Copies of this chain bind each other. A is one copy, B any other.
Amino acid sequence: VTLQDVAKAAMVSPTTASYILNGRSAEMRISADAEVRVRQAAERLGYRPNRSAQNLRTATTRTIGLISDSVASGHYANNMLRGASAEAGERGHLLLISETGGDPKTERDVLDEMLDRQVDGLIYATLVTLEIDPPLLPEVPPVVLLNCTVLGDTTRRSVLPDEHGGGRTAARLLLDAGYGERVDVIGLDPNLRALAGPARFRGIVDELVERGLPKPTVVATDWDVVEARTAVGSWLREGARPEAVICLNDRIAMGALQAFESAGLRVPDDVSLVSFDGSELAGWLRPRITSVTIPYTRLGEVAARMVLAPDEFDSAQQLVAMPVLEGDSVRVRTP
């Protein structure tokens, strides 16, 4: 059942029907009578516009493409998808997704594929926050970088968690609880390509230093439960007596927790702990970990909004705040 049919049934021309069904009857001053007839006919015949035809005609698809290295595989990052999808849906768009596995060739192919399909916008997302070398992204349709940024390019739109601010938050959490003389940071790994760790660390340092407090000591470890357990274990065996630690993510926190436990240290009684990510894991551990959350859903939402309504943003670079997920891993210090 085509627009023609509806028009015929309502005894108007296709044009009139088109305008009415697209909610533009006002600007054409169409008779209320015709309007009703058309709407009823459409309803009665179960008319649905043919999107392919509309697409061809308008060179627009109400579709936004999301290319990712592996967003849909990450265990939390998928919330980015959810957020983006929801926001896109709000605005009458659907999400076309594809993963590249990080392979540049597939990346190009997928990109072309999406452009061929005339997506109205593109989100280029990475699982882990990082700096990328500019892939050959077009200027039209609008592209937004999600969870990544192009080194030194401030004009390219991008959405990132405010890791630095998150670092400050984490530090403040401990400072407010009375710790300050010494804060230990677990998990800085100089080898990682990811931006998150260093940014979080700088945030922590800045917060401490601004208050005239000493820089934190650092325990290096991979971002992995088992590695962290081992690293913290030997650190403790070397005689460390931490009172307040910041783990650079929840998996490290889990490993640290296990190590503390093995060493007879109790959280939060003997050592207070704060971490990052705000994953479900933080809530599963005992005690529940207080964690500075990566706002994945929000990131996705903002990215989609940025694609569909760039004008609603003043800056091309959007930092999304990292809220705190409260747990029971911080004890207020009583002197």
Contact = CB atoms under 8 A, between A and B. Distances in A.
A114 B63 CA distance: 11
A99 to B, nearest CB: 6
Contacts of A72: 72, 78-79, 81-82, 85
Contacts of A129: none
Contact of A98 (B73, B78, B94, B229): B94
Task: Count copies of this chain in the complex.
Answer: 2
Given A52-B61, A72-B72, A72-B81, A96 B99 contact: no
Nearest to A55: B52
A112 to B, nearest CB: 7
Interface residues of A, number: 50
Contacts of A56: 50, 52-53, 55-56
Contacts of A280: 75
Interface of A: 48-53, 55-56, 59, 61, 63, 70, 72-76, 78-79, 81-82, 85-86, 89, 94-99, 106, 110, 112-118, 225-226, 229, 251, 254, 258, 280-281, 283-284, 286
Given A74-B78, A78-B81, A225-B284, 10 more contacts: A48-B112, A50-B56, A63-B96, A70-B82, A72-B78, A72-B81, A75-B78, A81-B81, A86-B99, A254-B284
